[in-house]
A and B are shown apart, each in its own frame.
Chain A
Amino acid sequence: MNERSRATGFPVILRLTDLAVGFGTMRLFEGLNLALAKGEFVGVRGPSGCGKSTFLRTVSRLENPLAGNVIFEEPYTTQASSHIPSYRRRAIYVQQIPVLTENTIEENLRRPFSYKTACGDFPARRAGELLELLFVGQERITQAARSLSEGQKQRVCLIRALLLQPEILLLDEPTSALDEKATAAVEDVLLMEREKRKMSALIISHDAAQAERLCDRIIDLTPLLVAKEGPQ
């Protein structure tokens, strides 16, 4: 596949074809097609409860699509089950509610580097930099994760994902618990990662202004829902 995105001129890295999302026999929406290019940030919007989070979980393969495909492009093209962990390492899903273990911040950040899919050693310096950039503070790295506020936990979860240098971030309301200053810092870090590494992202955000600032384009799940429900 050598198709390039018209928006960025970079090759397509993730392709969703006729994707249907839901649980069991209940379809939340269907017929979603998307080609995400390298370095492209795409916003996802839709009414509350329409399945935006389930959509990201499906893209990360934590849920199976009810129909259609999630295809990570070459050189990783594969739908084999055994390749799913390494796909998830490259396309990391960061959920809205931060999840950290009861260990220290450092242990939380190091944990993914013990997985079979991890490449390289834990980048301690970069971890310190990101903790500073996102106003958590490098000196807190040895503290228990439970000592952090919700907003700080949210940023530590983002840092944990960024340290793995993913090709794609799947972000579910990444700044929902943050103040204006921290939100701006998160946005700067995300744009810097895009600039430096051509990282792509699918971002759910209720903040329309933020979506405008960060994203190259926005997909709206509402037409898919209407299409699914049929004309009233």
Chain B
Amino acid sequence: MIYLSTTDLIISAALVLVAGAVSLIMKLGLERRLLIASVRTVLQLFILGYSLKIIFGLDSPWVLLPLALFMVGAAARAAIKRSTYTFKGVTGLSFLTLAACGTITTFTVTGAVLKVDPWYSLPHVIPFLGMILGNSLTGISLAVDSILESLKEKSNIIEMELSLGATRWEAARDVLAQGIRRGMIPTINSMVVAGIVFIPGMMTGQVLAGVNPVEAAKYQIVVMFMLTAATASGCIVIALLTYKTLFNANHQLELTKILKQKA
């Protein structure tokens, strides 16, 4: 592995300085934002690096639990933050979905595939959980956004179907399927082009760290499958929970529960 010195980091920062200079010359007005973003990147990643160094040293399941809860909580909030529409309790449902799908997928991979010992090994569990939550939250966000928007736009069609004798499931099915598809698209796209258009992040990291590229590819395959499973299950679970919340037992669409998200 090639270790980086402070000078190396400064040289890479010079690349951003070039972008800043171009922005100044072309009057793009991006230099302030570039500066803030660069400083944030340095601070956030150093804090993350040092935190992980300390956390990985504390090899205990009691450290894993609050950390995982914090990560799931932050992901749940981020997942629904940018939706156009929302409904009461959506953050809780998003939390439940990410907690269930994230935990099951992470421990399936670390336990059954990588056979990590002990099961709570922080250097393994935390990065995998992080990757899963990052991908799932994007999927969940897209799925919820699509479902709520469609329910608002197509409420007249859904009520027409209900009035002709459709069950709530029959009336909601198309909207839910469309939402799940929308949530899955980025993950499926990245699977399709992986290795052709780009070298996936984890594989790049391992190759740079000196791992045999074939072994790195195997790891990446496991990661891609894991992310797909987690995103698919996340999208399906959040779609079903949304359906259960917005369609009541009397086979009615409770449209008043869908609210416009505050800017």
Contacts and interface: CB of A to CB of B under 8 A. Distances in A.
Contacts of A161: 164
A5 B171 CA distance: 36
A143 B39 CA distance: 60
A60 interface: yes
A165 B251 CA distance: 21
B8 to A, nearest CB: 58
A117 B167 contact: yes
Interface in A66-119: 81, 84-86, 88-89, 92-95, 97, 99, 101, 111-112, 114-118
Interface residues of A, number: 28
B165 A86 contact: yes
Contacts, number: 66
B178 interface: no
Contacts of B166: 85, 112, 115, 117
A164 interface: yes
B170 interface: yes
Given A99-B156, A116-B167, A111 B161 contact: yes
Contact of A62 (B159, B165, B167, B249): B159
Interface string B237-263: 000000000000111100000000000
Contact of B164 (A81, A97, A164): A164
Contact-residue size bin, chain B (C-beta under 8 Å from the other chain): 10 to 19
Interface in B207-253: 249-252
B164 A92 contact: yes
Contacts of B159: 62, 95, 99
Contacts of A95: 159-160, 163
A227 to B, nearest CB: 27
7 contacts: A62-B163, A84-B251, A85-B165, A85-B167, A86-B165, A112-B164, A164-B165
Chain A to chain B: the 4 pairs with minimum beta-carbon distance, closest first: A89-B165, A117-B165, A99-B160, A81-B249
Interface of B: 156-157, 159-167, 170, 249-252
Interface of A: 60-64, 81, 84-86, 88-89, 92-95, 97, 99, 101, 111-112, 114-118, 160-161, 164
Given A81-B251, A95-B159, A99-B157, 6 more contacts: A85-B251, A92-B165, A95-B163, A97-B156, A111-B161, A115-B164
